[in-house]
Structure 1
Amino acid sequence: MEECIFCKIINREAEGWIVYENDYVCCFLDKYPINKGHILVVPKRHFEELAEADGDSLKEVILASQKVAAALQKSLQPDGITVMQNNGIFKDVNHYHMHVFPRWEGDGFSWTEPETTVNPEDFSELYSQIKENLE
């Protein structure tokens, strides 16, 4: 595994503004924030993808996300909070993590939803494939 900046922050080998941690997660301010107060919630065990993470780590990630979201709400009084995570080529660091950041109306962040049409046959096929892969 190449050197992981998140592992270095967790191990205090790199600078990080750690706002909360427990045995499972480390939460720190994002060095390249979407908005002021952007926090990364990172499991202490190194997992590259969501699907690799163990149940205890995932549980702690979401509970810590809830905790830091409440702290952001109290601290900054934003119009809302966004909680999201990316996988595959859509993440900048190859260590599974959750983003929690405050939002203000007109802040410039957007989620662009393409106009996608799914025909009834596609729903049926997708339903079958997903159900089979869940079993």
Structure 2
Amino acid sequence: MFCGIVAGEVRAFRVTDEPDGVAFLDTRPVFKGHVLVVPRAHLVTLADLPPESITGYFGLVRRLAVAVESGLGAGGTFVAMNNRVSQSVPHLHTHVVPRTKGDGLRGFFWPRTRYADDPDATSYAERIRSALAADPA
């Protein structure tokens, strides 16, 4: 599924598409603005990420964490990755979840929500994309 998103064959609310990876909204977000970042190549776990790709991939993850905060006015972010266990899609991906104080997220029990409709999801993707463009560091 993620390979199809990277290739543009599967619909997704893309935040960015760069040489180091593709970022798009999770369709079942913990909180609205929850972004998934995937490398362009099909890799299953972090151990599969070539050493020469680490800086670029995690640089993109870092930039998205900043963009989620600034673009959504979040108090912070939760950045996480599963490897095999609890990995619902067998493609390396990193979650960047907006956080606010008192948001109810406790430990690793992640309640899920939904976007009201496509325009709602599009607006979140656009806000994060704009913040990402404002700070391309």
**TM-score band, normalised by shorter chain:** 0.7 to 0.9
Distance apart, 1:33 and its partner CA? 0.6
Matching residue's letter, 2:87? K
Tell me what 2:135 maps to: none
Judge conservation of contact 2:79–2:94 (CA < 8 Å) in 1: yes
Structure 1 vs Structure 2 CA RMSD:
1.3
| Structure 2: runs of 5 or more not aligned | 109-137
Matching residue's letter, 2:18? N
Q: Residues of 2 paired with 1:26 and 1:90: CA distance?
A: 21
SS of 1:27's equivalent in the other structure is: strand
Q: Higher mean Cα deviation, 93-102 or 74-83? A: 74-83
Q: Percent identity?
A: 34
Residue 40 of structure 2 corresponds to residue 44 of structure 1 = yes
Tell me what 1:96 maps to: 92
Structure 1 length-normalised TM: 0.75
Match of 1:22 among 18, 42, 47: 18
Q: Residues of 1 paired with 2:53 and 2:24: CA distance?
A: 16
Tell me what 2:56 maps to: 60
Distance apart, 1:99 and its partner CA? 0.6
Distance apart, 1:106 and its partner CA? 2.2
| Structure 1: runs of 5 or more not aligned | 113-135
**Residue by residue, what CA displacement relative to the aligned partner does 1:66-87 show, whole Å, maximum 9, x if unpaired?**
1111111111111211111011
State the number of aligned residues: 108
Q: Residues of 2 paired with 1:27 and 1:36: CA distance?
A: 14
Structure 2 length-normalised TM: 0.74
Judge conservation of contact 1:72–1:102 (CA < 8 Å) in 2: yes
